[in-house]
Amino acid sequence: MVTGGSRGLGREMVLALATAGADVVIASRKQQNCEELAEEVRSTTGRRALPVGCHVGRWDDLGALADTAYAEFGRVDVLVNNAGMSPLYPDVGSITEDLWDKVLDVNLKGPFRLTALVGPRMQRDGGGSIINVSSVASFHPKPDVVPYAAAKAGVNAITQAFAHAFGPSVRVNCIVPGTFLTDISKAWDLDAFAEEAKGFALERGGEPHEIVGTVLYLASDASSYTTGALLRVDGGYV
Q: Which amino acid is at 25?
A: V
Phi-psi region of 155 (alpha: psi -120 to 50; beta: other; left: phi over 0): alpha
Per annotation, catalytic residue among 89, 148, 225, 237? 148
Strand-pair category, 230-233 with 24-28? unpaired
Residue 103 is inside which H or E element, if any? helix 97-104
**Under a CB-based contact definition with an 8 Å cutoff, are residues 142 and 105 in contact?**
no
Task: Please give the DSSP secondary-structure letter assigned to residue 119.
Answer: H
- Residue 70 appears among annotated catalytic residues: no
Decide if 218 contacts 129 (C-beta within 8 A).
yes
* Residue 210: how many other CB atoms lie within 10 Å: 17
Residues identified as active-site: 148
